[in-house]
Amino acid sequence: MGVKTEQKQRSYEAIVASASRLLRERGIGGAKVADVMHGAGLTVGGFYAHFASKESLVDEALRATAREMREGLFAGLGEGGVERVLRRYLSAVHRDETTKGCPFPAVVGEVGTHAPEHREVLAEQLESMVSALAETVARPSVIPVRHVALGLVALMFGGLSLARATRGTPLSDEMLRACRAVGALAARAAEGTTDSTRK
């Protein structure tokens, strides 16, 4: 790889990393190209050497952040995988690290209202999350494993979104605890075991 190619690749990665931070912190509308490029240590004029549009950058940042989140969530789960995922995702640490972790709470409202051009990428990344979670659900399940995974993903994203929106109040911590408990109970019920002593 030549020096220019390496430099272009480093610049590309810096832009995606900057966009990923801003996307999670400010949402789609708040991740302005000028701010992204400033965060990457580059000039605005260099943006179009890497991306055709802001939309293409947002799509790439969504893919990158979702992939990074899944890698962390599902690493080294072992036994009791679903409940470990719930504890990792619905945690105070994840709630408070708004520039890291899951990008979806920051963008789903915008995609559903005024940024529908990102709907396909959002659906693609949700499918990847559902598939990964479905792999951790014990078989056989009394309801379709995919339905269990879909329901848990909705609970996780919704719970984290509400916990972030109410951060600093007692309700925020309670929301995380309640969603973890309900998610664990739902996973056990799907497996046909509702033993409340199970860890």
171: CATH: 1.10.357.10
Contacts of 155 (CB under 8 A, 6+ apart): 179, 182, 183, 186
Tens of pLDDT, residue by residue over 46-77, are 999 999 999 999 999 999 999 999 999 999 88
Is residue 16 one of the residues assigned to a domain? no
Q: How many domains does the chain have?
A: 1
Tens of pLDDT, residue by residue over 6-17, are 899 999 999 999
Is residue 77 one of the residues assigned to a domain? yes
Q: Give residue 101's domain range.
A: 54-191
* pLDDT, position 198: 43
Residue 76, φ and ψ in degrees, nearest 5: 55, 45
How far apart are alpha carbons 145 and 61 in whole angstroms?
29
Q: Which residues of 95-117 are buried (b: 16+ CB within 10 A; e: fewer)?
A: beebebbbbbbbbbebbeeebee
* pLDDT, position 199: 40
Is residue 107 one of the residues assigned to a domain? yes
* pLDDT, position 81: 87
Is residue 13 one of the residues assigned to a domain? no
* pLDDT, position 183: 95
User: Which pTM was predicted?
Assistant: 0.87
Q: Using alpha carbons, list the distances in angstroms from residue 132 to 67, 72, 78.
A: 11, 12, 14
Is residue 19 one of the residues assigned to a domain? no
Is residue 35 one of the residues assigned to a domain? no
Positions of the chain with pLDDT under 70: 1, 193-199
* pLDDT, position 39: 96
